């Protein structure tokens, strides 16, 4: 009986134990690798998120002056002065006047550059000269928005002269 | 027994290995998670620090409060530091608890075709189109600080127009991004009126001019204040006591006239509680109030005579009553809230509004004299005394009752 019983075992006890340990270690390695990857992505993802949010938070810009310099038949120039009052340099990507995206044109004594995007270092100020599409009526309101690449914006509402 | 021992030994041996492996696995997983949590916490802390820092900056920015007291700017034609410049001193008071640094100054000249916009930047040396960086910081709570700026005095010569209404708009931008503006020269209160300046209170405008307060004589017709504010009473002293309101003994009644405009969008009806209150300031005792309640409007013929004799300036009033006041008698004024009755027999001051809200309507001379509310006897002032006179107005505007008090003038009486 004993000899018959021993013959029924597929593998010996030692081999079975070794197999179990091997399988456990393999599964553990897979589990640890998966956990490491998951926690790593979580960590790096949150790092990126907080870093970007932090940079966005440190952006501050103001439109400190708007001057309507010309309102002739062919020239409707609005000068917009934007200052970086934050702690990070900012990239200005768009200017909207009453919902219309306008590109800066012309030249001026305080003009940074003729085209967007414009990088504005901390404390610097830029003058943007934009052309409004038509002659404005005295007293009409202009909503001016300047946006940054990080999604921040400065707004101002001014009355045309 | 031997078999049992062997079995127990074998079972314990397997448990030891698996417990160790399981422990290592769990510990590894725990440490991985803990590391990730520590990293995330550190990043969140850094983010929170930035958030706190920027929030504090926002608080500081919103706390900035600059005020530009009269006269706003003073200028000298030449500058010792810059021979080719015109120097201006801008007077600034910092009303906030944070120090404020001026970053830029914009001057808009609406009536200058050549230089409609002037931009001034900070500079450590005096030169045209700059302001002194040394004077650009205003300490917390500092009053009447002077920020010096320079405009070109030679080719071109830019002198700011100093007459109203060609006012310049001066915008001061701070390093935190706030902008504070004022007009220079300072505009007068309200729109231009015939003469003098004005005080606006609520819907009322009170014109400060030589004919604002006039006084009665025995015969119909007031006397405008003479030199040094001297008013001639009857009998008139010769010469009139300069700076004093001559009031003979026994004292005679006084009728005051105050010129009012309505700036509101609808008519104003004065109530009978309105009065000029003269508070006495005796040398050694508490002073008595001497009320001069509003009296009934004058008759048309009386107004005509006063305008013709230039006792009143202006032209015409649309409020007429039935009496011509004297120092001993006036018409009683009986108009109350909420149901004012205005009729030919009971005329009231229904002061008309102007052409638009904020613009003055027809000027009206309101009479103050009665020694009691609705009374017909003018009050008197004691001789040899001084008074601080306040104007208390109760009125009905848009169906609601309002009131206001304005310290108006000082009066002294002769012996």
A46 close to B (CB below 8 A)? yes
Higher pLDDT, B137 or B69: B137
| Tokens read off for B84 | 């080719």
Each residue of A123-151: pLDDT tens digit?
Answer: 988 888 888 877 788 888 999 999 999 99
Is residue B363 a contact partner of residue B317, using CB atoms and an 8 Å limit? yes
pLDDT reported for residue B232: 42
pLDDT at B231 over 50: no
Each residue of B296-317: pLDDT tens digit?
Answer: 988 887 777 776 666 666 666 6
| CB-closest option in B21, B110, B173 to A25 | B21
pLDDT reported for residue B225: 40
* Range B156-166 average pLDDT: 72
Distance from CA of A115 to the nearest CA of B (A): 22
Distance from CA of B105 to the nearest CA of A (A): 10
Please list every residue in chain B whose beta carbon sits closer than 8 Å to the beta carbon of residue A54: 46-47, 50-51
Mean pLDDT, contiguous 10-residue spans, chain A (161 residues):
58 84 86 88 88 91 89 79 92 92 69 76 88 82 94 92 78
Instruction: Choose among A92, A102, A104: nearest CA to A59.
Output: A92
A23 close to B (CB below 8 A)? no
Interchain CB distance below 8 Å, B179 and A57: no
Interchain CB distance below 8 Å, B50 and A46: no
B41, B50, B64, B105: best to mutate for the A interface, most A CBs within 10 A: B50
pLDDT reported for residue A85: 94
Instruction: Choose among B227, B230, B221: nearest CA to B308.
Output: B221
Distance from CA of B224 to the nearest CA of A (A): 44
Higher pLDDT, B54 or B236: B54
| CB-closest option in B28, B35, B177 to A83 | B177
Interface of B with A (CB under 8 A): 14, 17-18, 21, 24-25, 28-29, 32-33, 35-36, 39-40, 43-44, 46-47, 50-51, 53-54, 57, 61, 103-104, 106, 108, 110, 116-117, 119, 171, 173, 175-177, 179
pLDDT reported for residue B137: 95
| Cα dist from B339 to A17, B115, B334, B398, whole Å | 107, 58, 11, 13
pLDDT reported for residue A1: 47
What pairs with residue B197 in β-bridges? B208
Which chain B residue is nearest to residue A67, measuring alpha carbons? B117
DSSP E strands: which ranges in A104-152? 118-120, 125-131, 141-148
Is residue B391 a contact partner of residue B406, using CB atoms and an 8 Å limit? yes
Please list every residue in chain A whose beta carbon sits closer than 8 Å to the beta carbon of residue B169: none
Interchain CB distance below 8 Å, B35 and A57: no
Which chain A residue is nearest to residue B51, measuring alpha carbons? A57
Please list every residue in chain B whose beta carbon sits closer than 8 Å to the beta carbon of residue A21: 17, 21
User: What is the rounded CA–CA span in Å between residue B172 and residue B326?
Assistant: 57
Name which of A84-93, A121-130, B98-107, B220-229 the model is least confident about: B220-229
Which chain A residue is nearest to residue B29, measuring alpha carbons? A32
Is residue B362 a contact partner of residue B317, using CB atoms and an 8 Å limit? yes
Is residue B205 a contact partner of residue B199, using CB atoms and an 8 Å limit? yes
pLDDT at B233 over 60: no
SS3 A29: helix
| Tokens read off for B272 | 């009978």
- CB contacts < 8 A, A to B, total 97
Interchain CB distance below 8 Å, A46 and B43: yes
| CB-closest option in A40, A53, A83 to B47 | A53
pLDDT at B215 over 60: no
Is residue A17 a contact partner of residue B10, using CB atoms and an 8 Å limit? no
Interchain CB distance below 8 Å, B179 and A62: yes
Each residue of A75-90: pLDDT tens digit?
Answer: 788 889 999 999 999 9
Kindly list the structural domains of chain B, giving each domain's residue range(s) and its CATH number in brackets, ordered by start: 66-184 (2.60.40), 197-412 (no CATH)
The ipTM estimated for the assembled molecules is: 0.80
B191 membership: H or E segment, kind and range: none
Each residue of B4-39: pLDDT tens digit?
Answer: 555 555 555 555 667 777 888 888 888 988 988 898
Is residue B348 a contact partner of residue B268, using CB atoms and an 8 Å limit? no
What pairs with residue B120 in β-bridges? B105
Which chain B residue is nearest to residue A84, measuring alpha carbons? B177
| CB-closest option in A21, A39, A67 to B32 | A39
pLDDT reported for residue B63: 94
* Range B91-100 average pLDDT: 93
Each residue of B242-277: pLDDT tens digit?
Answer: 334 555 555 667 777 788 888 887 889 999 999 999
* Range B200-207 average pLDDT: 77
SS3 B42: helix
A33, A60, A122: best to mutate for the B interface, most B CBs within 10 A: A60
% of chain B beyond a pLDDT of 90: 27
| Cα dist from A138 to B168, B178, B248, whole Å | 18, 26, 61
Each residue of B51-88: pLDDT tens digit?
Answer: 999 999 999 999 999 999 878 888 766 667 788 888 89
Interchain CB distance below 8 Å, B117 and A67: yes
């Amino acid at each position: 009986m004993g000899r018959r019983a021993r013959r029924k075992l597929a593998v010996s006890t030692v081999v079975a134990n070794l197999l179990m340990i091997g399988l456990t270690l393999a599964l553990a390695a897979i589990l640890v690798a998966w956990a490491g990857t998951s926690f790593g992505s979580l960590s790096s993802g949150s790092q990126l998120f907080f870093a970007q949010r932090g940079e966005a938070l440190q952006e501050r810009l103001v439109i400190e002056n708007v001057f309507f310099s010309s309102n002739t038949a062919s020239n409707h120039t609005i000068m917009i002065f934007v200052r970086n009052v934050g702690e990070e340099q900012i990239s200005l990507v768009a200017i909207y006047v009453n919902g219309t995206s306008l590109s800066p044109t012309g030249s001026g004594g305080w003009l940074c550059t003729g085209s967007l995007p414009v990088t504005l270092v901390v404390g610097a100020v830029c003058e943007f000269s934009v052309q409004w599409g038509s002659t404005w009526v005295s007293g009409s309101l202009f909503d001016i928005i300047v946006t940054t690449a990080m999604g921040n914006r400065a707004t101002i509402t001014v009355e045309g002269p | 027994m031997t078999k049992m021992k062997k079995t127990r030994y074998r079972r314990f041996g397997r448990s030891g290995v698996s417990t160790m492996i399981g422990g290592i696995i769990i510990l590894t997983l725990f440490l991985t998670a803990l590391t990730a949590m520590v990293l995330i916490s550190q990043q969140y802390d850094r983010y929170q620090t930035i958030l706190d820092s920027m929030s504090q900056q926002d608080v500081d920015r919103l706390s900035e409060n600059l005020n530009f007291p009269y006269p706003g700017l003073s200028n000298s034609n030449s500058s010792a530091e810059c021979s080719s410049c015109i120097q201006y001193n801008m007077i600034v008071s910092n009303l906030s608890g944070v120090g404020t640094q001026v970053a830029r100054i914009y001057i808009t000249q609406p009536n200058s075709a050549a230089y409609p916009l002037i931009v001034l930047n900070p500079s450590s040396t005096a030169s045209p189109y700059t302001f002194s960086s040394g004077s650009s910081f205003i300490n917390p709570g500092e009053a009447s600080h002077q920020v010096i700026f320079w405009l070109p005095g030679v080719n071109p010569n830019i002198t700011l127009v100093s007459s109203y209404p060609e006012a310049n708009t001066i915008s001061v931008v701070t390093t935190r991004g706030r902008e504070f503006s004022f007009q220079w020269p300072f505009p007068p209160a309200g729109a231009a009126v015939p003469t003098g300046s004005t005080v606006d209170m609520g819907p009322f405008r009170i014109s400060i001019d030589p004919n604002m307060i006039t006084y009665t004589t025995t015969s119909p017709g007031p006397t405008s204040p003479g030199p040094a504010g001297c008013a001639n009473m009857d009998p008139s002293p010769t010469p009139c006591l300069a700076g004093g309101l001559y009031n003979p003994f026994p004292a005679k009644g006084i009728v005051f006239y105050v010129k009012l405009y309505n700036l509101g969008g609808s008519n104003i009806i004065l109530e009978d509680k309105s009065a000029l209150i003269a508070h006495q300031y005796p040398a050694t005792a508490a002073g008595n109030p001497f009320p001069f309640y509003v009296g009934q409007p004058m008759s048309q013929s009386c107004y005509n005579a006063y305008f013709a004799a230039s006792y009143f300036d202006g032209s015409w009033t649309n409020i007429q009553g039935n009496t011509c006041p004297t120092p001993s008698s006036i018409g009683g004024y009986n108009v109350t809230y909420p149901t004012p009755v205005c009729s030919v027999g009971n005329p009231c001051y229904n002061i008309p509004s102007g052409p638009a809200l904020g613009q003055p309507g027809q000027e009206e001379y309101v009479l103050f004299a009665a020694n009691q509310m609705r009374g017909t006897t003018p009050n008197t002032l004691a001789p040899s005394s001084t008074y601080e006179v306040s104007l208390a107005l109760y009125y009905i505007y848009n169906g609601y009752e309002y009131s206001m008090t304005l310290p108006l003038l000082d009066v002294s009486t002769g012996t």
